[in-house]
A and B are shown apart, each in its own frame.
Chain A
């Protein structure tokens, strides 16, 4: 539920596209076919596999997913753009979502967000720091309102009770 990062001009390098769905990844996807009555239902899991492998969802991967699930690329793109956790362009090495919705906002989330923007060198929301290390976005309610301010790093590490005082120490864990 993050705000979408502004669309950059980044393009995949001209190098040949290395398919995501081959070998072990393809086997993992095919194992999912057993769990759902339609291939379409494997779309969200398939997109997660792409993002895990590449860090974002490139155009070529949309085509690949469409082919393997027997959908059209336009349909897949429509779904990708509905869900805010899928990145439609490259992001920094570490992607940080900071909750600023009302419950956290009442407890100082906006100060925490400012501290994180400063410490990461991102300066403003949605941009990647000049060293390529961080991208920081606001997220709507992370569902941990009793532990303000929660942040989610790299779609993996859920960290509670981040404050302007401890933000730098937490960020230092992400080189």
Chain B
């Protein structure tokens, strides 16, 4: 079976230790995985944090499956990585980017089932030539997409897609066009079908304004932009409804009426996600030709190196990457009529 490829993430953050912990505590219940990192750094990190984890350098992704039960398989990066946990003074930006690039290559050429990325600190990468606002946009660029992939957050209680993500609220409102909402809805529907195996997904769409604008009393984006976009994206393959009030669409009974919620801006999507599924939310990049997931948290410098970080979101990300890859393969088989 093809492994899930992990990236190093910011070496001053918690990515290294949650990778070690994932191997130590969860490898028996996970598909094989491999990380693109500096094996010596990980060995040192295992020693200083006291996380029992054997690290083994490998050359080929195909070796990962046989190595993973006995040691954490690591494909070495071209240079050493010297950052220490919690200390962001060393610029290892080039290696952070190399790790992402090589995982993309592996996921794209099919030698990996997909990729799961550890968190990065974008501002630390800009000096190394990284010019995207985040992982997701960078992956879209690398995949040659004209528009960035869509971010789906998935947890045990909720799947949610923000139409706009990492923009100031003012810019987010400006970016909220009918075309963008339609694209997001269509991509989300396609992902529910191919990535999650839901034939006729039910999609709940939020409004932008409080109470979804209350018939235009509190903003007109619902009437002018969102409702027409929902109509345009409607098809027999899916059940779309909205615009709904952001504050009432997430309670337990409401969540039972849909498979995925599409929200207009970051906080509207992320607040319910973090509230309901803080520990095990997974970020899935939807609309890419390859599978990419990531844990739904940041670099957490403040606790890095202390072995107190919770690896469960990374564990969920690895599992979900493998499940989506499996689901995609099955869909492709069906499309070929096998």
Query: Is the pairing of A and B real?
Result: no
